[in-house]
């Protein structure tokens, strides 16, 4: 229960009350209830892309080169030592940070090469539900499904064990054909289990990579575009402009949501460049212009790939507007609103407002990055 005097809700400044999780316009404060003066009232934030199995592992084996390659190697070295308790303790610690920053829904990828982590996060999901946090788990084959014996089986096992979505990493498979085959197998597996799909898609600077178009074509042919997320898509940055235009249109037509991860990708990509050095982010402005839906992920919180990060999604939006040069008021506003609008699409749409920010509007939120007040379980 709370009353808001002259609070901004989207484009309007109103008096409003929060009653049993529902926002009621007008009225007056009830005796004894907290009154918030001014500020911005929004739905809780949603995180569409993070790796909770690896979170907070960065300090155990620091990534000295800062490259994706060393991150994968460090994770592979740490992975065999992990216990379920360790995975849960680190995930909980990061989830507490997410909630402090107003986020109540989290989609995590889990490496299917680590069954301990798969089981730990599935068991944690049920507990979190009772605490007002929604956790979705993507069965993510970090090292591909065709590169070595047993990987496909481990991935299929994790999907059957109770994940919410099927993942894949087509650009990491051995050949282009095997990448495309992994995409189609993921669609088949999701169809079989009635699950969502979330690809690590073309997280590379290679302009010859061609997986996003296959993801979109499969989504169109199978009529499931709204159930599919393509994360990273950094190759789109490096495509020729004519090909990029074709792919962007395909993304918009398919209904596939692209999730940009600017914090990680601006440091992990461009590593084979000398100068000029490319920005490691997908074409957010072009996707917006085409009518595609775009989410913003934090991706890593102090893990083997990215040593920084505090699970504050506003930081990810802050980085996105810099790297993407999205500096008009309209662009900055859209970037911040993404955190409580399009970031909820993988979860089926945004819940009602319940987060209060001590700032006048979205641009001020981005500038100040204050701590919010979470008023009710999301
Ligand atoms: Zn990722």
The pLDDT value recorded for residue 21 is 84
Q: Which two tokens stand for residue 114?
A: 């680590």
Residue 15 has pLDDT above 90, yes or no: yes
Strand segments, DSSP code E, in the chain are 2-9, 12-19, 22-25, 35-37, 40-42, 45-50, 103-111, 134-140, 165-168, 196-201, 228-232, 257-260, 294-296, 355-357, 373-374
| C-alpha separations of 114 from 80, 83, 119, 197 in Å | 8, 10, 9, 20
Residue 377 has pLDDT above 60, yes or no: no
Residue 376 has pLDDT above 80, yes or no: no
232 C-alpha to center of ligand 1: Å?
Answer: 7
pLDDT digits (tens, 9 = 90+) for 38-74: 999 999 999 999 999 999 999 999 999 999 889 999 9
CB half-sphere exposure, 341, CA atoms < 13 A: 11
Helix%, strand%, coil% for the chain, nearest 5: 45, 20, 35
Domain ranges of the chain: 2-38, 45-349
178 C-alpha to center of ligand 1: Å?
Answer: 20
User: Across residues 342-368, what is the average pLDDT?
Assistant: 97
The pLDDT value recorded for residue 29 is 93
371 C-alpha to center of ligand 1: Å?
Answer: 25
Report helix, strand or coil for 140. strand
Strand segments, DSSP code E, in 222-372 are 228-232, 257-260, 294-296, 355-357
| Cβ 259 vs Cβ 296: under 8 Å | yes
Give the β-pairing of 22-25 and 12-19. Answer: antiparallel
pLDDT band, residue 27 (cuts 50/70/90): confident
The pLDDT value recorded for residue 378 is 41
Cβ-based neighbour number of residue 123 at 10 Å: 13
pLDDT band, residue 156 (cuts 50/70/90): very high
* Catalytic residue list: 203
pLDDT digits (tens, 9 = 90+) for 264-287: 999 999 999 999 999 999 999 999
334 C-alpha to center of ligand 1: Å?
Answer: 23
Which residue from 113, 93, 85 is spatially nearest to 52, judged by alpha carbons?
A: 93
- What rounded mean pLDDT belongs to the chain? 96
Residue 262 has pLDDT above 90, yes or no: yes
Which residue from 167, 222, 217 is spatially nearest to 195, judged by alpha carbons?
A: 167
Q: Which two tokens stand for residue 356?
A: 């209060």
pLDDT digits (tens, 9 = 90+) for 183-231: 999 999 999 999 999 999 999 999 999 999 999 999 999 999 999 999 9
Residue 150 has pLDDT above 60, yes or no: yes
68 C-alpha to center of ligand 1: Å?
Answer: 11
- The CATH superfamily holding the domain 45-349 is Metal-dependent hydrolases (3.20.20.140)
Give the β-pairing of 228-232 and 196-201. Answer: parallel
76 C-alpha to center of ligand 1: Å?
Answer: 15
pLDDT digits (tens, 9 = 90+) for 284-297: 999 999 999 999 99
| Cβ 142 vs Cβ 72: under 8 Å | yes
Distance, CA of 247 to chain centre: 21
Torsion over CA: 268, 269, 271, 274 (sign): negative
265 C-alpha to center of ligand 1: Å?
Answer: 10
């Amino acid at each position: 229960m709370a009353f808001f005097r002259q609070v901004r809700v989207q484009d309007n400044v109103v008096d409003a009350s929060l009653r049993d999780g529902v926002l009621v316009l007008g009225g007056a404060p009830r005796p004894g209830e907290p009154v918030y003066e001014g500020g911005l009232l929004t739905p809780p934030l949603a995180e569409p892309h993070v790796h909770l199995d690896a979170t907070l592992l960065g300090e155990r084996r620091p990534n000295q080169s800062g490259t994706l390659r060393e991150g994968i190697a460090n994770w592979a070295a740490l992975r065999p030592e992990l216990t379920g308790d360790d995975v849960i303790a680190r995930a909980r610690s990061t989830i507490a940070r997410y909630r402090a920053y107003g986020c109540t829904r989290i989609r995590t990828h889990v490496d299917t090469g680590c069954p301990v982590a798969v089981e730990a996060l599935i068991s944690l999901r049920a507990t979190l539900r009772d605490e007002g946090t929604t956790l979705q788990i993507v069965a993510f084959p970090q090292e591909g499904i065709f590169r070595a014996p047993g990987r496909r089986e481990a991935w299929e096992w994790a999907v059957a064990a109770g994940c919410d979505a099927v993942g894949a990493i087509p650009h990491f498979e051995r050949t282009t054909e095997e990448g495309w085959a992994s995409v189609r197998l993921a669609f088949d597996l999701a169809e079989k289990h009635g699950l969502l799909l979330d690809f690590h898609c073309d997280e590379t600077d290679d302009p010859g990579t061609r997986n996003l178009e296959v993801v979109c074509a499969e989504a169109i042919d199978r009529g499931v575009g709204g159930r599919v997320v393509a994360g990273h898509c950094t190759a789109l940055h490096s495509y020729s402009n004519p090909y990029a235009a074709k792919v962007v249109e395909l993304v918009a037509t398919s209904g596939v949501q692209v999730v940009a991860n600017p914090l990680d990708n601006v440091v992990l990509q461009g590593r084979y460049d000398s100068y000029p050095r490319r920005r490691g982010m997908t074409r957010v402005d072009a996707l917006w212009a085409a009518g595609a839906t775009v989410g913003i992920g934090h991706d890593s919180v102090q893990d083997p790939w990215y040593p920084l990060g505090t699970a504050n999604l506003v930081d990810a939006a802050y980085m996105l507007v810099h790297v993407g040069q999205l500096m008009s008021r309209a662009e900055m506003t859209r970037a911040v609103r993404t955190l409580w609008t399009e970031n909820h699409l993988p979860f089926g749409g945004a819940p009602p407002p319940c987060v209060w920010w001590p700032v006048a509007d979205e641009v001020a939120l981005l500038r100040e990055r204050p701590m919010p007040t979470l008023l009710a379980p999301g």
